[in-house]
Structure 1
Amino acid sequence: MKKILILLTICGILGVQAQTDEQEFAPYVINGVRSPVAPYFAYIRFYQGNNFGWGGGALVDPRSIVTSASIVAPWERIRVYLGGNNRDFMREHEVFNFTAHPNFDRFSRAFDIAVVRLVNPIIPSAEIHPIALPPLYNPPNSDLPFEHEEITVDGYGATTAQNQQAATFLYRSHQRITSQERCTAFFVLDTEQAFCGEDLDERSNVCFGDLGSPAIGTYRRNPYLAGIVRIHPNCGVNQPAAYTRISFFLPWIQSQILI
């Protein structure tokens, strides 16, 4: 998967994907495998004038989607699609509003999280249903996800660096959480707010078009939303990707869901 390019690219760090003159530019999953249906996955398109791009998000309750603030903060409008693993057949769901974290900084990417609210709640089914959030109280002195924990990341980003188009089918990367030291060797970030994941076996990774896409972990045998794609330098396959840590932002997310 690659990642989403934003017009504001910082120090080689790629963010929201966008292009002008009605052309598309997106992030993607490199060396990933075709994903089965991810019932929680939200395909998000964002627009401003003739500029538009795409990314991902996670359905966390019948009306709420967690995604990257970079997808919503600079843009005039967004469209959300749910259901299936072929973006051509996903169903659009009308957006009620979207809110980026008030402390979001588009340059440092701190507090890179947002919540999108739908007009109508979805009716849970095998094809579309929410993913669990992390437990409100983790074990003492720990923050999910744990180092070495496996995560899966799905997205519609391009599948090769040469093909800068959104993939038709959903692709998946299997990664493990890196140490904080390896993470901060590549990114300037607060490890309370973020973590890194890497695939050392197949070298799959995210890039343009995958910003906001969900990283799913397992806690006590139950899948949960561990993170969302935050940054990836140059879409490389020999480097980790950075994710916003959902457990850190859980109180804020819940405050938005209850509005």
Structure 2
Amino acid sequence: MITIITLLLLGSLVSNLSFTASVNVRIVNGNEATAHSRPYMVSVQRNRRHVCGGFLISDQFVLTAAHCRNNNEILTVVAGANKLSILKTRRSVSSYNKHPEYNTDPRTPDIADLMILKLNKKVELNNKIKTIPIPTTPVNISVGTACSVAGWGSVENGGPASPTLREANVKIMDDTICAQWGQRFVAPQMMCVYGRGGACEGDLGGPLVCDNTAVAVASFVRDNSCNNAYQHNVYTNISAFLPWIQSILPPK
């Protein structure tokens, strides 16, 4: 019976996808973003090389993924860039705030994959550098909701970063399908998406944007496979961790 249900769920999913398994699920499969159309996006860099996406939630704080920093690495943040070769505003990081539950349980290593970076100096908000709102109360995004992702990530597994910001449309997937992946997917702390494009290496840490709000942070691609239509992107649900986020940010 379980096998039959599983096959029915997968069949339902496949019937809703307008592409075959040979289509690459990565942002390279999307489109080049219009210059500065996503002014909240930042490039998180190590040794001045892009490693992760991130986004401004205030003029001095960036939300990204906890796995984007190993040990005591020094990171910097570039804001206001569309092409990474044309840098606009670089800031050092004065404090790194990883969620305390991240990577504490080997059975669920991706739980709470969130990190808040405090910049050493506020960025000047303008038409090329802006913040994006995050939920202020817990939200439940309906299955099938149209959202979008963006980043400077790899064009293929292990490939080079894209020099220009790219974007793709995705849809929220049913948690019951994601849950078949086992303990690594945990709802409601996580959500997963599918589409003709999506996140790959270098896009992780970036936002899942639904209705002009950043609702989740790109965490991982199942089996690290960016070029398989059935290995969907998994995101950390921001609204599941609001008390911690609010404890880091200064009071308004």
The bucket for the TM-score relative to the shorter chain is: 0.7 to 0.9
Q: Is the 8 A contact 1:46 1:77 kept in 2?
A: yes
Q: Which of these residues, 142, 151, 157, is aligned with residue 155 of structure 1?
A: 151
Q: 1:74 to 1:147 in 2, by over 3 A?
A: farther
Q: Is the 8 A contact 1:68 1:229 kept in 2?
A: yes
The question of 1:45 aligning with 2:45 is answered yes
Shift of 1:34: 0.4
Aligned residues, how many? 215
Q: Structure 2 matches for 1:57-96, cutoff 5 A?
A: 57-90=54-87, 91-96=89-94
CA deviations on 1:142-200 (whole Å, 9 max, x unpaired) are: x3333211111111012234x7111110011110000001222236221111100110x
Partner Cα separation in structure 2 for residue 97 and residue 126 of structure 1? 27
Partner Cα separation in structure 1 for residue 178 and residue 118 of structure 2? 32
The question of 1:115 aligning with 2:123 is answered no
In structure 2, the partner of 1:227 is: 216
What CA RMSD, in Å, does the superposition of the two structures yield over aligned residues? 1.9
Q: Which of these residues, 220, 230, 238, is aligned with residue 246 of structure 1?
A: 238
CA deviations on 1:32-82 (whole Å, 9 max, x unpaired) are: 1101221100100136xxxx7600111001100000000125342101000
Structure 2: where are the runs of 5+ without partners? 1-25
The question of 1:170 aligning with 2:159 is answered no
Shift of 1:94: 2.2
The one-letter code matched in structure 1 to 2:46 is: F
The one-letter code matched in structure 2 to 1:245 is: N
Structure 1 stretch displaced more, 236-245 or 110-119: 236-245
* Runs of 4+ deviating beyond 6 Å: none
1 or 2, which has the higher helix percentage? 2
In structure 2, the partner of 1:100 is: 98
SS in 2 for 1:88: coil
Partner Cα separation in structure 1 for residue 50 and residue 123 of structure 2? 24
Higher radius of gyration, 1 or 2: 2
Partner Cα separation in structure 2 for residue 144 and residue 125 of structure 1? 31
Partner Cα separation in structure 1 for residue 121 and residue 159 of structure 2? 33
The one-letter code matched in structure 2 to 1:182 is: I
Q: Is the 8 A contact 1:134 1:144 kept in 2?
A: no
Partner Cα separation in structure 1 for residue 141 and residue 57 of structure 2? 17
Q: 1:256 to 1:57 in 2, by over 3 A?
A: same
Partner Cα separation in structure 2 for residue 205 and residue 131 of structure 1? 20
1 or 2, which has the higher strand percentage? 1
Q: Is the 8 A contact 2:52 2:202 kept in 1?
A: yes
CA deviations on 1:67-119 (whole Å, 9 max, x unpaired) are: 00001253421010000311112321122111101111175111110100011
Structure 1: where are the runs of 5+ without partners? 1-27
CA deviations on 1:233-257 (whole Å, 9 max, x unpaired) are: 3113413200000111112111111
The one-letter code matched in structure 2 to 1:195 is: M
Partner Cα separation in structure 2 for residue 205 and residue 133 of structure 1? 20
Partner Cα separation in structure 2 for residue 131 and residue 103 of structure 1? 25
Q: Structure 2 matches for 1:9-28, cutoff 5 A?
A: none
